[in-house]
Structure 1
Amino acid sequence: MITKFPSISSKAPVMLHGADYNPEQWLKYPEILREDLRLMKLAGCNVMSVGIFSWVSLEKEEGVFTFDWLDSLLDTFSENGIYAFLATPSGARPAWMSEKYPEVLRVERNRVRNLHGVRHNHCFTSPVYRDKTALLNSKLAERYAHHPAVIGWHISNEFGGECHCDLCQTAFRDWLKVKYDNNLEELNHAWWATFWSHTYTSWEQIESPAPHGETQVHGLNLDWRRFVSEQTINFCQHEITSVRSYNPELPVTTNMHMIDGIDYRELAKILDVVSWDAYPDWGYTADDDDARLAAWIAMHHDLFRSFKKKPFLLMESTPSLTNWQSVSKLKRPGMHKLSSLQAVAHGSDSVQYFQWRKSRGSSEKFHGAVVDHSGHAETRVFRDVAEVGRTLAGLTDVVGTSTPVQTAIIFDWDNRWAIKDAQGINNSALRYEETVLQHYRGLWELGIPVDIISSGDDLSAYKLVIAPMLYLISEVNGKKIEKYVEQGGTFLATYWSGVVGETDLCHLGGFPGPLRRTLGIWAEETEGLHSRDLNGIVMQTGNALSLSGDYDAHEIAELIHLEGAEMLGAYRNDFYAGQPALTLNKLGAGLAYHLATRVKDPTFYVELYAAITSKAGITRTMNSELPTGVTAQLRTDGENEYIFVQNFSGIQQSVELDERAYTDLESGAVAASVIDLPVNGLVMLKRKA
């Protein structure tokens, strides 16, 4: 049965290819605007994001609106088969507003109000800012919501940051009153405010964390982060409401960028389609390991796809270099196509760039673009972009296809925030995101698709759920995981899990708290290891996973006692040599593993998950041996499966295909039994589902 999601827009049921376009910067150069149109067609671009930072070009002074340049642009797009995501321009307001209404300016943690400048330097609580935003948005929607070139709303740009002004302090206290049922005693207990005599005796005493004030009440810190996230999402909803009614059929998105302060999983709930901005630093990572970086970016593609379990949009990427990384290194040959198609492999229905044409001045004049200052198509970057355009034009059948997934990794924002606030164990190397990546990469190397989910999500669709460093987990979600295992699921948790509940108070009765029965262990102590301290896991003879070997471990080691679990691997040295480091607990119809220490060697995670997934009956994308740094990802419409074999190893590789019949998706020819992958190469295959 063919099962596909509808395309983002019925106007453009194809792979979208385009860029962030800023024509208002070039209004004095009409010949450049004409040339842009020709070059867009030449590059195979069919969509542009416009209006993102255009507020002053639309409203040069309060209440004086100018739309003629945007009218002309969208009409020209429509005449030439190019579409637009029309942005609301709230990401950077005009100077006249800051001058007349200083309350819109953001106040920093030090309680100093900012001057006008940069972007997202505004208060999301300010009634003035909300009113001014809604007014301009509604005028844009009234004028363009039914324009034939417009296929969606691009709400603002990379929301982020926080404001500590008096308006936000009042809003925070009101938010707390709702959360704690107007009960100050309940709040004090949830925050353990008796510590250091920090008990609050009136709501007015509560202030947001400040470098010259309160920073050590972790419950306050966590709730402030939650409030900032919710207030940002509320502002985004305010913007959506201001445009939605003019054409309810027009989808809305906002481009995300892994900003720490927003729970993107919650933001995604108010959007029609998820989009994000990916800027990997290919070729100049600190460890010079593009395979690790590829897994990191793949993990984020999967994260954003998982929010709605359907295709997303790659809204921004760079066609060449950036201007803000420590070293601005060029993409090597093949990397642009490989990295662009990596997004498609993980569920994107677009490849878009920042930016179309390099700015002539200001901070991004040297940021990568499709069109350089030279202004013509005779550049390596333009040829690379045009090649991707031709490839995407041949992938229309892939649009709307899904990613079948049997494995999930838990990644929670409040857990992330709480871990970063924790003091103890190893303050220099807690590395939550790095830990998640270690486990993800093991699956990525095996070519096993993964969803990135919340601890509160429904787990029943997955054969394997992995929870790296699930430090913060509620009793309710702990019981949910326990039930999942009892009913036949496979679960793996690591060190530093089940430590605190939802208000960042430690679970009483022993760690891992609500996961203790599930894992069948008690974690008595956890220590941080210096860089000079090296331990390891020695696999036990005849263990249930049939693993063998001795793997180095570092940074964190948890001393655990068996409470029904069996030992699969033991610590190699120190006073706890021989004690459990990897365990398996059988609970009901399911299995629960616990990894008590951080293993250094990436090979360990590949071997561990090869064994666990085999035991759980989890299907790989291909039944082929994949060299290190080579992965295979899958999309399907239910009748056909589309396989993307990608080489991030840095050397030429070959892969022997399994026994199924494959065709080359680009050429249509029958695929050879062995496919060759050059450096930064990929092959796209098709087979029957």
Structure 2
Amino acid sequence: MSRKIPPISSKLPVLMHGADYNPDQWLHDPRILEEDIRLMKLANCNVMAIGIFAWAALEPTEGTFTFEWMDRLLDTFAENGIYAWLATPSGARPAWMSEKYPEVRRVEANRVRNLHGLRHNHCYTSPVYREKTAIMNSKLAQRYGGHPAVIGWHISNEFGGDCHCEYCQNAFRDWLEKKYGTLEVLNAKWWTSFWAHTYTDWNQVESPAPHGESMVHAHNLDWRRFVTDQTVDFCKHEIDAIRGANSDLPVTTNMHLIEGLDYRKFADILDVISWDAYPTWHEHQDDSELAATVAFYHDLFRSLKQKPFLLMECTPSLTNWQPVSKLKQPGMHRLSSLQAVAHGSDSVQYFQWRKSRGSSEKFHGAVVDHVGHEHTRVFKDVAELGQTLSDISKIVGTTTRAETAILFDWDNRWAIKDAQGPRNMGIHYERTVLAHHRAFWEEGVAVDVIGSEDELSPYKLIIAPMLYLCREETGRKLEQFVAEGGTLVTTYWSGVVDEHDLCHLGGFPGPLRKTLGIWAEEIEGLYDHDRNGVALSPANPLELTGTFESHEICEMIHTEGAEVLGVYTDSFYAGQPALTVNRFGDGQAYHMATRMKSDFLQAFYSKLIKQTGVARAIDTDLPQGVTAQVRTDGVTDYLFIMNFSGKMTQVSLDDQCYTHLDSNEFLKGVIELPVNGIELVKRSAN
């Protein structure tokens, strides 16, 4: 059965390849556009993201619109077979607006209004800013919504940050009143009786502040939720202005690992997810740990809509804002770009096309360097990748078939970091999630990254590391998942608080207690130099043997029906359970009571993959630092075998029939993978 999804644009039904293009920086020299078109063709680029920071060039003074340069650009694109993601320019407003309408400038948590400058220094609640963006977006959509070169709308740029002005304070109060109804309910859910912080009037409620309220955890959590909702509402406001002008082209907004926003809330209003990836390659010879981290985020953004996404930005060479700006070594541009495609991207796009002459990012990598011609190593790498993308465009719209999922909620992440215990020197939530994900990456197992509101039934195996904030509803869903035959893995510091950051009463892990068959009595944070260990029980059902070191966190648990698979080796709780499994209904639930290191996680999940029958990309032993991913249309599997180990290595193929993706030549036996090497092959789908 076909699993192919229609291409993002029927105008460009191939893998997209291009960059952020800023011709508004070069309007003084018309020759640049002519040369850029020549170079885009040489680089095998077929799409550009344009107009992202062009407000001042489109509306140099209030009410005066200068679209002629954009007309020429898009017409030239159309004449040369190049397409555009046309951006709304709200990511950076013009100075005249900041001067005339101070309300558009953000107020920080310290209640001081910002000066004009930087990007996203604006208030999403401001009526004036909303009015101005609606006017601009409507005019762009009216003028270019039917242009043959335009394939979609790029809404703003990397949304992020918050505003604490009076407009936002009033909107926050309205949001809270709609959520809680009365102050009595808000006080109860926020536990404001602590420190006598009970509210008696809605006007007393303000956003968290460094010189005011910051220790009511439910308050902090609701503020972050409000900021997400307000940002999503602003994004929707931008989209509505475009739709109101009768443009039905797909919309996206580029995301960039901004902790303050719950990106899942954007999925319903966007047609396609896109994100910006800037790994610090080559910090070590072995890039596999970083590659697994990047893979997690590819999986996360693919999972938001369960369909192909866009890599909207990456660098073709280096950045200028990381602690050290390393060049990509030979092969890494191809490998890292195709890694995105392997995990579900239908594009590889860069920041930026042509290096700026001045200001903040003048030394940020680009396809066209300051030298201005194609005779550079980077340009050659980009052109060669563009040819590869053209050759393999048959994979456009193919999907990823994941039978394993990791549970990753933004409000859980926020709540954990605000919890004040058990290890304020570093609770390492993200690091923990990434460590569990990496064990599957090493095995070549596809993983979806889901939220607690998502459907669980498609999966055989669900991993929920540090599910500290666990709603009763989430507990019921996970209980049903296990009872119906699923396998669940949880860790310490799970089932501790509800959605209001109130501790569950009656014993941790709260709503998970029945499913896990344990009661967690205490939890200890360890210093960095502290160590404990887990000795595995003889003849345990996973057939794991030996003793493994643990660190940072140890939870003391009692079994309530669960089987003990391993016990602590040290401290006053030596001999107490550290690893358990509970048979529940037709499934099973494992619990790790202490933070384990990568050697255990790899051994544990390797056994669990076999036990649950979770599919691997290829049935062979993958060398350390080598991974594999599959995209499929239900008829053909497209297999990417990637080497991030920093050294030459070999992979033995299994006994399926493989051919090279680009040449259709048969492939069997052992394949050689050079440093930063990748092999693209296909086979019949199972």
- How high is the TM-score relative to the length of structure 1? 0.99
Equivalent residues of 1:442, 1:603 under 8 A apart: no
Distance 2:529 2:56 in 1: 56
Instruction: Report what 1:583 is aligned to.
Output: 580
Displacement after TM superposition at 1:251 (Å): 0.2
Look up the match of 1:568: 565
d(CA) in 2 for partners of 1:647, 1:324: 27
Q: How far apart are the structure 2 equivalents of 1:578 and 1:627?
A: 35
SS of equivalent residue, structure 2 residue 676: coil
**After the TM superposition, which residues 356-505 of structure 1 pair with which residues of structure 2 at under 5 Å, given as runs?**
356-505=353-502
Aligned to 2:671: 675
CA distance in structure 2 between the aligned counterparts of 1:394 and 1:232, rounded to whole angstroms: 39
In structure 1, which of residues 315, 318, 322 is the aligned counterpart of residue 319 of structure 2? 322
Between 663-672 and 461-470, report the one with greater CA deviation: 663-672
Alpha-carbon separation, structure 1, partners of 2:663 and 2:463: 38
SS of the equivalent of 1:64 reads coil
Q: Counterparts of 1:327-366 in structure 2 under 5 Å?
A: 327-366=324-363
Segment drifting more, 100-109 vs 450-459: 450-459
CA contact 1:19–1:48 (8 Å) conserved in 2: yes
Q: Which residue does 2:104 correspond to in 1?
A: 104
Shift of 1:3: 2.8
Aligned partner of 1:145: which letter? G
1:246 CA drift (Å) = 3.1
Deviation of 1:126 (Å): 0.2
- Residue aligning to 1:157: 157
Q: Distance in 2 between matches of 1:129 and 1:245?
A: 18
Deviation at 1:146, TM superposition (A): 0.3
Cα distance, 1:431 vs structure 2 = 0.6
Aligned residue number for residue 11 of structure 2: 11
Aligned length: 685
The whole-number CA distance in structure 2 between the counterparts of 1:360 and 1:88 is 23
Other-structure match for 1:65 = 65
Aligned residue in 1 for 2:40: 40
Alignment correspondent of 1:625? 621
- CA displacement at 1:289 relative to structure 2: 4.8
Contact conserved, 1:252 with 1:272, CA < 8 A, in 2?
A: yes
* 1:235 equivalent in structure 2: 234
After TM superposition, list the pairs within 5 Å mapping 1:648-659 onto structure 2.
648-659=644-655
Aligned to 2:87: 87
Specify the SS of the correspondent of 2:325: coil
* One-letter amino acid of the counterpart of residue 618, structure 2: M
SS of the counterpart of 1:322? coil
Question: 1:146 aligns to what?
Answer: 146
- Structure 1's unaligned 5+ residue stretches are none
CA positional deviation for 1:348: 0.3
1:666: how far off? 2.5
How far apart are 1:593 and its partner, in Å?
0.2
Q: CA deviation at 1:651?
A: 1.0
Displacement of 1:669 in angstroms is 1.1
Q: Which amino acid aligns with 1:662?
A: Y
Residue 271, structure 1, aligned to residue 270, structure 2: yes
Q: Which amino acid counterpart does residue 446 of structure 1 have in structure 2?
A: E
Distance in 2, Cα, partners of 1:630 & 1:35: 40
Is the contact made by 2:276 and 2:314 (CA closer than 8 Å) also made in structure 1?
yes
CA drift at 1:197: 0.5
Aligned counterparts, 1:490-639, within 5 A: 490-600=487-597, 602-639=598-635
Give the 3-state SS of the residue equivalent to 1:632 in structure 2: strand
Amino acid at match of 1:310: K
Query: Given that residues 141 and 247 in structure 2 are in contact (C-alpha distance below 8 angstroms), is that contact kept between their aligned partners in structure 1?
Result: no
Partner of 2:203: 204
Q: Secondary structure at the match of 1:302?
A: helix
Measured after TM superposition, the shift of residue 29 of structure 1 is: 1.6
After superposition, the C-alpha distances for 1:412-455 in whole angstroms (9 at most, x for unaligned) are: 00000101111011011211100100100000100000000011
**Shift, 1:2, TM fit:** 2.6
Residue type of the alignment partner of 1:39: L
1-structure distance, mates of 2:677, 2:566: 38
1:228-307, aligned counterparts within 5 Å?
Answer: 228-284=227-283, 289-307=286-304
Separation in 1 of the partners of 2:419 and 2:287? 31
- SS of 1:282's partner is coil
SS, match of residue 140 in structure 1: helix
The CA deviation at 1:14 is 0.3
The whole-number CA distance in structure 2 between the counterparts of 1:389 and 1:635 is: 19
Opposite residue 682 of structure 1, the aligned amino acid is I
Secondary structure of the residue aligned to 2:152 is strand
Amino acid of the structure 1 residue aligned with 2:52 = I
Residues 98-117 of structure 1: CA deviation (Å, up to 9, x unaligned): 00000000000000000000
Distance (Å, rounded) in 2 between the aligned partners of 1:75 and 1:358: 23
CA positional deviation for 1:570: 1.3
Please tell me whether the aligned partners of residues 233 and 267 of structure 1 are also in contact (alpha carbons under 8 angstroms).
Answer: yes
1:472-498 CA-partner distances (Å, limit 9, x unpaired): 011111011101101111000001000
When structure 1 is superposed on structure 2, of 569-578 and 419-428 the one drifting more is 569-578
2:113 equivalent in structure 1: 113
Residues in 1 aligned to 2:61 and 2:248: alpha-carbon distance in whole angstroms: 32
Give CA-to-partner distance per residue, 1:490-544, whole Å, 9 cap, x none: 0000010000000000000110000001101011110110111111111111011
Q: Deviations over 1:565-605 (max 9, x none)?
A: 011111121111111111100000000000111112x2321
Q: Distance in 1 between matches of 2:550 and 2:662?
A: 44
Q: What stretches of structure 2 of length at least 5 have no aligned partner?
A: none
Give the Cα–Cα distance (whole angstroms) in 1 for the partners of residues 245 and 15 of structure 2: 26
- Greater mean deviation of Cα atoms: 528-537 or 602-611: 602-611
- Select 1:666's aligned residue among 657, 662, 667: 662
The separation in 2 between residues aligned to 1:432 and 1:239, in whole angstroms, is: 34
Contact 2:138–2:244, Cα closer than 8 Å, also in 1: no
CA contact (8 A) 1:146 1:247 kept: no
Read off the aligned partner of 1:234 and give its amino acid letter.
D
Which letter does structure 1 place at the counterpart of 2:645? S
Q: Are the aligned partners of 1:519 and 1:565 in contact in 2 as well (CA < 8 Å)?
A: yes
> In the aligned structure 1, how far is the partner of 2:74 from the partner of 2:97?
27
2: CA distance, partners of 1:3 / 1:544? 36
In 2, the alpha carbon distance for the partners of 1:655 and 1:59 equals 57
**Alpha-carbon deviations, 1:225-280, whole Å to 9, x = none?**
00001000000000000001334430000000010111101111110000000000
Distance across 1 between alignment mates of 2:493 and 2:147: 53
- Taking the aligned partners of 2:530 and 2:271, their CA distance within structure 1 comes to 49
| Partner SS for 1:232 | helix
Amino acid at match of 1:452: V
The SS at the match of 1:492 is strand
The match for 2:636 among 617, 640, 654 is 640
For residue 73 of structure 1, report the CA deviation from its aligned partner.
0.3
Alpha-carbon contact 2:422-2:523 (below 8 Å) kept:
yes
CA distance in 2, matches of 1:342, 1:243: 33
**CA distance in structure 1 between the aligned counterparts of 2:546 and 2:311, rounded to whole angstroms:** 41
Structure 2: how far apart are the matches of 1:173 and 1:347? 40
Question: Any residues of structure 2 matched to 1:130-145 within 5 Å, and which?
Answer: 130-145=130-145
**How many Å apart are 1:396 and its aligned residue?**
1.4
Kept in 1: contact 2:286–2:625 (CA 8 A): no
Cα deviation for residue 458 of structure 1 reads 1.1
Distance in structure 2 (CA, Å) of the matches to 1:198 and 1:274: 41
